[in-house]
Structure 1
């Protein structure tokens, strides 16, 4: 093994570990790795930033811009209302909304599909009394499964197509991935819809302490005169009132001491957490009192839940520093968070991806703040855009898809869609570019030269040689089975684009060593990179789902392993049937 190969493998291993730890921003890790690769002599200076001009990155940017327009069109709000009026069963709702999510995800990135259909799913759940935990995870998984079907469904598909072009001069066609992806998506969606009602029974009426999987709500409330909490020790709060106290403030000072010796008094402020509905009951019993909002008597006053998206400017900020809300008179009254530790006061809590804010204020002020901060409201207001215009962006997008399917390069066809949307005033390109998920784009662009170095340094050939000692890759099915397994094993811990970039050169070496066509190997990479159902942190969709649905880590294992095993076996059969 040469110095370049060894240094590249060490660099990749270090980056994968840092990605999986999620303690550093992914764009920082990516740029550091990109510069380190040049310092190690893996590629010359004129190739450091070639990833930013890659057709893959350009296409992803274009799709994200188009998704911004489609998300505002709210085409599916009316469909949801008609669906709810039909009185469907729980299985029909779960499978129907999951199928819709999967279909949308065929034509846009996974997070965009999840963001468009999640508010629709939650409204259906509220209208039909379906627990949130039975809806959120299926929608997240369906978005991942739908991405298996088309060239633009996920960046991993674009990346392996680009690898095929570099190796053979011909790329995958738009729906080449559907031979494997469509049956796997259908099977996965209906398998999960069938199981999820048994896995997550209705806990909405259960006591707040009945299950630690319930979504945690953290609030800071004052103890009014006459409250039944007066005279209660903090240690008695969980069994008697279903809340877990974190801090007791008297005057301007914290009350320290053992929980069984700290007694609540009138006028104290309590920082506590509990289940979804427990604080509503305590407020009705006048046990806890929130500060009255100055606009609460105005007709436009409203209360909205919103989730912190991966691209949100709020990630890493503390509540006290959110001038984007405070300056508009919007109050943050509760927080559902994933952080295991709660320290200080409510205003000291730090936000992360998937946290849910409960906001109170004037409707327009909340809408402006959420749009500026890139947070997703979980209950959407009716669109002010005329219904006759809401179809136009979808028609234009369909034209771009048709052009790509007919053989035009995706980056060219979707550039035309972006241009027409801008000319028709559906898209402000300057604002749209500012609102893009730049950490993901930077990561993707930075990883492309590193992935190319896997091939140019001979590291892919060396790794393929090592793996061939364990698996007889001369038979294509064994090599494909190993590639698919490696992709599925890596993707729960790092994003799917990184998996595709790292494994695509190795898959090509497998095909070369066995003297086989590379198509099946590369589709195995793309499919395995998107079959991410076992952890909440491998893909942003699952991270968001964990916060919104109140799932535990083990819930993903319980729900995901049958889908993962079924998808692996079915994908392998379909690869052998259509591509070998």
Structure 2
């Protein structure tokens, strides 16, 4: 093995580990890896930033710009109202909302499909008394499955198509992925819709062996006079009141000492964690009070739950520094954290993707703040800007999809849509560019030269040679089965674009070594990279779902492994049927 090959493999391994830990921002890891690759001589200086001019990256940016316009249309809110009036069964609601997410995801990125469909699902859940846990995970999984169907459904599809075009001169057509993706998506959506009510039963119907999850929140509340908590030791709070204390503040100072010796007094402030319903009950019993609005409720008062999206400007901020809320008179009254890191007081808590904030304040002020901070409300709110009721943007988008399916390059077709939307004043390009999810775009662009180096340095050939000692890749189905397995094994820990970038050169080398057409191998990479159901951190959809639905890590394993196994078997059969 040459120095370039060894250094590239070490670099890739280090980046994959850092991506999976999420301790350093993904764009920082990607840029550091990009510069490290140049320093190691893996590509020349004129190729360092070539990924930013890649048609794949340009197409992703264009689709994200268009999605911002489509998301304002509110057409699906009307659909939710009509659907709720029809009183459908829970299975029809779960399968219907999941199918909607899957269909939308065929034509836009997975996170966009999830964000558009989720408010519809939650609204139906409230109207029809369907537990949130039975709705959120199916919608998340369906958005991932829908991305399997088309060229633009997910960046992984665009990347493998680009790899095929560089290897053979022609990439995949728009719906080439549908031969495998559509049956897998339909089967997967039906499977999770059938199983989810048994996995997450309603509280009153839960078997003794299953405890239905409720979302846990962190709050800071004052102990009023005559509160039943007065005289209680902190060590007794979990058993007597079902809350976990993290800090006790008396005056302006923390009360330190063992939990069994720290006693709650009237006027103390308690920082505690527990189920949202428990704190609601304690507030109703005047056991803990918020003191958020000492002068009475403001005009047009409302309470809204909102989730921190991957592109949100709040990520990494502490509650005390959220001026986007504070200067509008909006109070953050509770926080549900995906990974609780509780140090200091409530205002010191730091936000991450998927955290849920409970906001109280004027309705219009909250709507403006959520749009400015790129957070997703979990219930309908007033809009800071008028809803876009025209079908024109949808028509333009449909024309671009049709043009791409007919053979026009996607980056050209969707650039035309962006231009027309801007001319019609549906899209403010300057503002929309500022609102893009730039960390993902930067990561994607920075990883492309590294992925090309996998093939250019001969690392792909070396890896294929090692794997051929384990699997007889001379038989195409064996090689495809291995590539599909590797993609599915990596994607729970690394984003699907990175999986596609790393595995595409290896898949091409498998095809070259076995003297087979590369199409099936690359389709296997794209499919496996999107079948991400086993962990809450492999894809941002699952990260968001974990916080919104109040799931545990094990819930994804319980729900995801049958879906992953069935999708693997069906995808392998369809690859053999249509592509070999």
Shared fold per TM-score greater than 0.5? yes
For 1:268-283, what aligned pairs fall within 5 Å after superposition? Answer: 268-283=268-283
Distance 1:384 1:28 in 2: 33
1:82 — aligned with what?
82
For 1:131-530, what aligned pairs fall within 5 Å after superposition? Answer: 131-203=131-203, 211=211, 213-293=213-293, 296-381=296-381, 389-530=389-530
1:110 — aligned with what?
110
Give the C-alpha shift of residue 340 in structure 1.
Answer: 3.4
Distance 1:221 1:34 in 2: 47
Once the two structures are overlaid, the 10-residue window that deviates more, 474-483 or 236-245, is: 236-245
Contact 2:364 2:382 in 1 (8 A): no
1:494-536 CA deviation, whole Å, 9 max, x = no partner? 0000000000011011111111111000000000000000011
Give the C-alpha shift of residue 385 in structure 1.
Answer: 7.2
2:577 — aligned with what?
577
Give the C-alpha shift of residue 339 in structure 1.
Answer: 2.1
Contact 2:222 2:268 in 1 (8 A): yes
Distance 2:301 2:389 in 1: 28
Secondary structure at 1:512 match in 2: helix
1:141-193 CA deviation, whole Å, 9 max, x = no partner? 00100000000000000000000000011110100000000000011111011
Give the C-alpha shift of residue 293 in structure 1.
Answer: 2.2
1:208-265 CA deviation, whole Å, 9 max, x = no partner? xx95942111111111111111122222222222211111111111111222222111
Q: Which runs of 5+ in 2 are unaligned?
A: none
Distance 1:318 1:387 in 2: 31
Distance 1:118 1:477 in 2: 38
2:539 — aligned with what?
539
Contact 1:535 1:553 in 2 (8 A): yes
2:7 — aligned with what?
7
Secondary structure at 1:259 match in 2: coil
Secondary structure at 2:461 match in 1: helix
Give the C-alpha shift of residue 374 in structure 1.
Answer: 0.9
Distance 1:445 1:217 in 2: 37
Distance 2:264 2:389 in 1: 57
Number of residue pairs matched? 577
Secondary structure at 1:93 match in 2: helix
Distance 2:570 2:551 in 1: 27
- When normalised by structure 2's length, the TM-score is 0.97
Contact 2:367 2:383 in 1 (8 A): no
2:46 — aligned with what?
46
Once the two structures are overlaid, the 10-residue window that deviates more, 441-450 or 249-258, is: 249-258
1:50-71 CA deviation, whole Å, 9 max, x = no partner? 0000000000000111111111
Contact 2:319 2:347 in 1 (8 A): yes
Give the C-alpha shift of residue 426 in structure 1.
Answer: 1.1
Q: Which runs of 5+ in 1 are unaligned?
A: none
Distance 2:387 2:118 in 1: 21
1:100 — aligned with what?
100
1:317-367 CA deviation, whole Å, 9 max, x = no partner? 110111111111110000011223322110011111100000011111111
1:464-495 CA deviation, whole Å, 9 max, x = no partner? 11111111111110010000000000000000
CA pair 261-205 structure 1, distance change in 2 beyond 3 A: farther
Secondary structure at 2:244 match in 1: strand
Contact 2:341 2:349 in 1 (8 A): no
Distance 1:414 1:302 in 2: 39
Contact 1:35 1:48 in 2 (8 A): yes
Distance 1:564 1:579 in 2: 21
- When normalised by structure 1's length, the TM-score is 0.97
Distance 1:536 1:93 in 2: 23
Secondary structure at 2:266 match in 1: coil
Secondary structure at 2:104 match in 1: helix
